[in-house]
């Protein structure tokens, strides 16, 4: 009569546990970066109304922040602000995210920067407005993919 194997040997179980441990050691740091990126992307969502205001006010020759009110602070985002002279939107994170750094969204039209004052702006002649969000002090690994 043949003896049928009843289960796994101790070495097989140890190999499986070691493989799971290695996978967890590699996955946890990447997962933590992804959660920080998700928190930072909240700032891009809050800045969407500012982008609309800048584009509309630039098309009408008004100062870039006319009629716009900043959103309230959240647990992840401390503030969102519009620069009246350039239309640049600055998103500031809370200190819990990389020490309170910033992402700057810079508008351009036809490869030219927008220009304005506290009371008016130059109407862009390049057509649509493009946004670049690679400036600021936030570490690149925490930026959403569109901002790297």
- In 3-state terms, what secondary structure has residue 106? strand
Q: How far apart, in whole angstroms, are the C-alpha atoms of residue 115 and residue 13?
A: 66
Q: How far apart, in whole angstroms, are the C-alpha atoms of residue 63 and residue 87?
A: 9
pLDDT band at 115 (very low <50, low <70, confident <90, very high): confident
Q: Is the pLDDT of residue 64 over 80?
A: yes
- How many Cβ atoms are within 10 Å of 87's Cβ, its own excluded? 30
CB 49 within 8 A of CB 81: no
**What's the pTM value of the predicted model, to 2 decimals?**
0.80
Q: How far apart, in whole angstroms, are the C-alpha atoms of residue 77 and residue 43?
A: 6
pLDDT band at 67 (very low <50, low <70, confident <90, very high): confident
Residue 1: per-residue pLDDT: 61
* Total number of residues shown for the chain: 148
Residues of the chain above pLDDT 90, percent: 36
């Amino acid at each position: 009569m043949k003896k049928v194997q009843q289960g796994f040997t101790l070495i097989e179980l140890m190999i499986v546990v070691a493989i799971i441990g290695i996978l967890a050691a590699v996955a946890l740091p990447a997962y933590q970066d992804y959660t920080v990126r998700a928190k930072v992307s909240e700032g891009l969502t809050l800045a969407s109304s500012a982008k609309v205001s800048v584009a509309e006010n630039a098309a009408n020759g008004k100062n870039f922040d006319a009629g716009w009110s900043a959103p309230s602070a959240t647990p992840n985002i401390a503030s969102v602000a519009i620069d009246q002279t350039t239309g640049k939107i600055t998103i500031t994170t809370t200190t819990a995210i990389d020490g309170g750094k910033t992402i700057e969204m810079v508008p351009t039209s036809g490869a030219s920067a927008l220009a304005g004052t506290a009371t008016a702006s130059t109407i862009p002649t390049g057509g649509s407005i493009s946004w670049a969000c690679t400036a600021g002090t936030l570490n690149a690994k925490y930026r959403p993919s569109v901002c790297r």
